[in-house]
Amino acid sequence: MAPKRSGASSASSAPLPPLSIDPTALLSDAISFSGTYLITIGANTVLHPRCKLNSTEGPIIIGSNCIVSERTQLIAPDIDGLVLGNYVHVEVNCHIQSARIGDATSIEVGTRLGKGSCIGDNCTLSPLSTILDVDVLPAFTVVYGENQRRVDTSSTAIARNETMLAHIDCLKKLLLNKSEKYTR
């Protein structure tokens, strides 16, 4: 895995993995794709520059209306791949090896998700939280503080999806779309 990833860091030279990118998705410059399995990116999804997607071990599927931020690594854990639902917000500097991340989940700065972990819908992971390997997080779980957990009963999920759409609209105005660079 190591030699392949080092090759992928010089993005243009290495062969790209098979990509299936929705035409409405926004892909910035200098995204590092590596691996051999299919990477699917859904509608209206924004990928910031310098995020890294590694499909060496399995496919990666990103749903619609997602944001993946800079310096975040999405690594497929196994042949079953990594599936991100819709409205997933992945913040800066995360290290994600989950099997599944549910809809409308917000993953904040510097979070580490262990290999094969499973995150439910509408979860919130506060900055620098850690999820162990093969851990399952039920829906509406908030991980806060020193990896303490509580159940979110605030019923703000729909409101957060709205702000997410507004966030994506704003990013589409700010970021340059370089998706044709990857679809060539």
Partner 1 sequence: MSSFPYIHISCPCNEDRPQTLTIDSARPISPSKSPSKHDFSFPPAAPQTPTKRRTLLAPFTPSVSFDATNLDLDDDEELTDEDEENNFDPRDPRSAFSLFPIENLLYCEDCHQIRCPRCVQDEIVCWYCPSCLFEVPSSTVKSDGNRCTRNCYLCPVCTALLAVIPVNHSTLNPGSTSDHPTGPFNLFCSHCHWTTSDLSPPIQLEKPTSISAQLSKLTHSPQDNEFTRLKQHYAQQLGNAQEDFTNSPAALTRLMGLYTGLGSSSGSHGGGRKGRGVKKLEMKEVDRPREVIEEREMEIVERMAKAGLNATTNAKQRLSQPHEPRFISDLTPTAVLLRTKRSKRCRACRHILVKPESKVQTTRFRIRLVALNYIPSLTIKRLDSTIAWNNLTPHKTHRFLLTVTNPLFDPISVSLLTPRRTPGTAFASRVTILCPEFEVGANTDVWDDALMSTKPAAVTPSGVATPPVAGSFASFSKDPKMSTVYEQKRNYTSVVIEVVPPEIPDTRDTRIRDERLLEIPIYVRVEFEAEVDRDDEEGGGGRPSHSGASGGAVQREKVEYSYWCVVGVGRVGDPVEGVVASEPNTPVRTPVGTPVKAPRTPAAMRTPLRQVRS
Binding residues (CB under 8 A) for partner 1: these are 124, 126, 142, 144-145, 150, 152-156, 158-159, 162
- For the bound state, the minimum distance from the C-beta of residue 143 to partner 1, rounded and expressed in Å, comes to 9
Q: Are 109 and 91 in contact (CB under 8 A)?
A: yes
Closest to partner 1 by CB, 14 or 139: 139
**Of 95, 97, 148, nearest to 124 (Cα)?**
148
What does the alpha-carbon distance between residue 37 and residue 136 come to, in Å, rounded to a whole number?
A: 25
Closest to partner 1 by CB, 20 or 156: 156
Backbone angles phi, psi at 162, to 5 degrees: -65, -45
- For the bound state, the minimum distance from the C-beta of residue 58 to partner 1, rounded and expressed in Å, comes to 32
Closest to partner 1 by CB, 28 or 111: 111
Question: SS3 of 173, please?
Answer: helix
What does the alpha-carbon distance between residue 43 and residue 31 come to, in Å, rounded to a whole number?
A: 17
Closest to partner 1 by CB, 117 or 129: 129
- For the bound state, the minimum distance from the C-beta of residue 67 to partner 1, rounded and expressed in Å, comes to 17
- For the bound state, the minimum distance from the C-beta of residue 126 to partner 1, rounded and expressed in Å, comes to 6
